[in-house]
Amino acid sequence: MKELTIDATVANIGTVTAFVDEQLEAMDCSMKAQMQIDIAIDELFGNIAHYAYNPEVGPATVRVEVLDEPLAVVITFIDNGVPYDPLKKEDPDITLSAEEREIGGLGIYMVKKTMDDISYEYKDGQNILRIKKSI
């Protein structure tokens, strides 16, 4: 398991992505799965950066675990910000045009659709969001 703790800022999304990609490349992750994971990182870490400590900045920890048989990666995002479960938000109606849809929710919807599992818990004053992707 590898772990990175860094300020939850939009400017650090690239650093977090590079950290996770390094682990994915070491396990010969397909480019498709890596791109899906990178989009999920952008969305999830971006949400932490925008909302967890607003208007302040606080730390976020990103943990990468590799599972064997079947080969998969679990990425955990942990912050001490405002409790927020993005999975409780109703999925957007993608049959509507962009003009007709309510703002927000599309990013987390994409994460739900591209990851094999996603879970959230608030424990000991921390938001803990996990995504799992089979490789």
Q: What is the CATH number of the domain that holds 46?
A: 3.30.565.10
Q: What is the pLDDT of residues 41-65, one digit of tens each?
A: 999 999 999 999 989 999 999 999 9
Above pLDDT 90, what percent of the chain? 79
DSSP state of 102: P
> Angle formed by the axes of helices 106-114 and 31-47, to 10°?
140
Structural domain boundaries enclosing 63 = 2-134
DSSP state of 86: G
What global pTM score does this model have?
0.92
Contact 109, 42 (CB under 8 A): no
CA angle 70, 28, 25 (to 5 degrees): 120
What's the helix, strand, coil split of the chain in %, to 5? Answer: 40, 30, 35
CA-nearest of 29, 20, 15, 18 to 2 is 20
125 three-class SS: coil
Q: Where are the alpha helices (DSSP H) in the chain?
A: 13-26, 31-47, 106-114
What average pLDDT does this structure show over 93-109?
71
What average pLDDT does this structure show over 11-29?
96
- Domain total in the chain: 1
Measured CA to CA, the distance from residue 58 to residue 92 in angstroms comes to 29
Question: Does position 98 have pLDDT exceeding 80, yes or no?
Answer: no
pLDDT of amino acid 97: 72
pLDDT of amino acid 131: 98
Question: Does position 67 have pLDDT exceeding 80, yes or no?
Answer: yes
pLDDT of amino acid 21: 97
pLDDT of amino acid 106: 74
Least confident of 10-24, 93-107, 117-131: 93-107
